[in-house]
Amino acid sequence: MSETGGVNGAEFERKVRRLARRRKIPCRFVASKGKGSHGRLYFGGEFTTLKDRKKEIGRDLLAKMCADLKIDPREL
């Protein structure tokens, strides 16, 4: 992650997908499970709501999304 902790939604999705490949866990994004630009990102049996993939994700939201997926943000 960057020093500020902020990434946009597309970067977060890419990093989670890379981690899923390393762990051999299924990962997918389902746009129909969200409203507007939001969607649901599944990581194994866990999921989180991913906001607009073009906008920056703040540090606190990033920590919450990682907690939802039960991953350590430093692993990304």
pLDDT tens-digit map of 27-61: 999 988 878 889 999 999 999 999 888 999 999 99
Whether 75 shows a pLDDT value over 80: the answer reads yes
Percent of the chain with pLDDT over 90: 68
Q: Return the amino acid letter for 23.
A: R
pTM of the model: 0.87
Helix (H) or strand (E) run with residue 44 in it: none
| Cα separation, 17 vs 33, whole angstroms | 18
Helix (H) or strand (E) run with residue 27 in it: strand 27-30
Query: What is the CATH class of 7-75?
Result: alpha beta
DSSP, res 53 = T
CA distances to 2, 3, 4, 8, 74 from 40, rounded to whole Å, are 23, 26, 25, 15, 22
| Residue 68 confidence class, pLDDT cut points 50, 70, 90 | very high
